[in-house]
Amino acid sequence: MVTEDVTGHAVVVGAGLSGLLTADVLGRRFERVTLIERDTLPDGPPVFRPGVPQSRHVHILWSRGMAALEDLLPDVVTGLEANGGVVVGAPEQMRWLSAAEWFTGVRGTDYLSVSRELLESALRRGVVADGSSVTVLDRHEVTGLLPARAGGAVVGVRLRERGADGAEFTVEAGLVVVAAGRGSRAAGWLGELGLPVPVTERLDARVGYSSRYYRRPADAGPWKAMYVQGNPDVPRGGVILPVDDGRWLVTLIGQGEHQPPTGEEDWLAFAASLRSAELSQALKGAVPLSDAVAFRATANEWTHFERVGRWPRGLLVVGDALCRFNPVYGHGMTVAAVQAQVVAGRIAGREPADIAARTRQTQRAVAKCARPAWMIATGEDRRYPDTDGPRPGRLGRAQQDYLARVLAAANTDPVVAEAFFAVLSLNRRPETLLTPRIATRALRRRNTP
């Protein structure tokens, strides 16, 4: 039961990338924002925490995501670079074997390569700064939503302190944002309130990651990063990314039966079995700093909250809690940052009560941001024989064939490369690859992957 006026209080569930950025944005309009996180958040140097298990694997932030971060938290990218993050020009500062050929002599766009731990710690410092209206309640796990007595609205959350006696209590708020990541239970929480449970669309390419850190050798070569991609014939790949502390984060990727192992010898043998020996050779001179760890939950999943007919006032779902992508395309963080920008735009100049009254429209706007990345990931994943889910029809196969030609042309044609990377980095919509200028150049090509 709501006992005081909490209209000016917002709660954000989950202090990952999406929760942090959304809390920052809400802090501009709400008197108080409470960011509730089930992990213990480190005060000191960045460290791994179990709530974000994917942080042990390569993460790139495309130029669109970098621009969104800079817009929300000015100078954050510059600060990350000063602390060891590396901005990489893709593909020109890389060795990148695409699903077709090596990219050669073409330019694309930039991405930021940085450990997830350092990225989050910089965002936390920016968001929970002195004078900010955002406070963190860590070591607390949200267990459900608090409904308004009259129904039709969410007015807070139920939660419990981790490691304590487990007794539940409630925190009331005028707005609740769920940013609880891939394992979010938001759909079930709606059901517990007697509301329709949204459908989750799913396409699983059964992609697995296995990653470890290396000390970055001084004489690594003229490139900053390397990506040997798999393709439907050889669905095995590998990535070397420069990250903070003078390290390389190296991830091996496999699909279906080609899951990358974690044992030392098997891991190295997998690295040597890629479509090019270059990655394996590069590792020969490098000193490993950790054992390999695996990650398997990489399915594309979109929980369609925006389609729920009776959407409660005062509730939003963002980030991976809303839509999760196969990570090989590197889109989740960029989409989360763009969603925070969309929320900022929709709440600008509005009072908290008005913001809570409009969550249905905001939920739709936030979900819309996921569409381009969803199209890219699911479209590409359907190429792979081991992908679960519906096979493409004739139109789908024609699209795949066309995009394979675009990719092949992008390897060496600067005009197509520029257009291709603008789409891959989510700066432009996928449809822009259908213009006559790109089509003419792409269809001239004979060799496709």
Ligand X SMILES: Cc1cc2nc3c(=O)[nH]c(=O)nc-3n(C[C@H](O)[C@H](O)[C@H](O)COP(=O)(O)OP(=O)(O)OC[C@H]3O[C@@H](n4cnc5c(N)ncnc54)[C@H](O)[C@@H]3O)c2cc1C
CB nearer ligand X, residue 15 or residue 366: 15
Q: Find the shortest distance in angstroms from Cβ 204 to ligand X.
A: 13
For tokens 């000191």, what's the residue? 44
Q: Are 193 and 312 in contact (CB under 8 A)?
A: yes
- The C-alpha atoms of residue 330 and residue 337 are separated, in whole angstroms, by 13
Cα separations in angstroms, 205 against 61, 132, 341: 22, 42, 30
The distance of Cα 381 from the centroid of its chain, to the nearest Å, equals: 17
Q: Find the shortest distance in angstroms from Cβ 189 to ligand X.
A: 9
CB nearer ligand X, residue 66 or residue 408: 66
Q: Are 212 and 289 in contact (CB under 8 A)?
A: yes
Helix, coil or strand: residue 210:
strand
CB nearer ligand X, residue 109 or residue 298: 298
Please name the amino acid found at residue 440.
T
CB nearer ligand X, residue 7 or residue 113: 113
**Of 111, 113, 62, 64, residue with least CA distance to 84:** 113
Q: Are 335 and 426 in contact (CB under 8 A)?
A: yes
Q: Find the shortest distance in angstroms from Cβ 370 to ligand X.
A: 10
Largest CA distance in the chain: 70
CB nearer ligand X, residue 16 or residue 91: 16
Q: Are 214 and 252 in contact (CB under 8 A)?
A: no
CB nearer ligand X, residue 183 or residue 414: 183
- The C-alpha atoms of residue 170 and residue 6 are separated, in whole angstroms, by 13
CB nearer ligand X, residue 114 or residue 271: 114
The tokens describing 397, both together, are 């196969």
DSSP state of 434: G
The tokens describing 128, both together, are 């929970």
Q: Find the shortest distance in angstroms from Cβ 209 to ligand X.
A: 5
Q: Are 338 and 350 in contact (CB under 8 A)?
A: no
Q: Contact positions toward ligand X, by CB under 6 A?
A: 13-19, 36-39, 51-52, 54, 57-61, 141-142, 179-182, 209, 295, 298, 319-321, 327, 330-334, 336
Q: Find the shortest distance in angstroms from Cβ 447 to ligand X.
A: 28
Helix, coil or strand: residue 421:
helix
Q: Find the shortest distance in angstroms from Cβ 394 to ligand X.
A: 32
- The C-alpha atoms of residue 442 and residue 415 are separated, in whole angstroms, by 10
CB nearer ligand X, residue 7 or residue 425: 425
For tokens 């989950």, what's the residue? 14
Q: Find the shortest distance in angstroms from Cβ 415 to ligand X.
A: 26
CB nearer ligand X, residue 40 or residue 412: 40
Q: Are 376 and 329 in contact (CB under 8 A)?
A: yes
Q: Find the shortest distance in angstroms from Cβ 341 to ligand X.
A: 15
Instruction: Return the H-helix or E-strand segment holding 252.
Output: strand 247-255
Q: Find the shortest distance in angstroms from Cβ 3 to ligand X.
A: 23
**Of 366, 315, 358, residue with least CA distance to 340:** 366
- The C-alpha atoms of residue 28 and residue 281 are separated, in whole angstroms, by 50
CB nearer ligand X, residue 17 or residue 128: 17
- The C-alpha atoms of residue 257 and residue 266 are separated, in whole angstroms, by 15
Q: Find the shortest distance in angstroms from Cβ 224 to ligand X.
A: 15
CB nearer ligand X, residue 97 or residue 409: 97
Helix, coil or strand: residue 206:
coil
Q: Find the shortest distance in angstroms from Cβ 292 to ligand X.
A: 13
Instruction: Return the H-helix or E-strand segment holding 396.
Output: helix 394-410
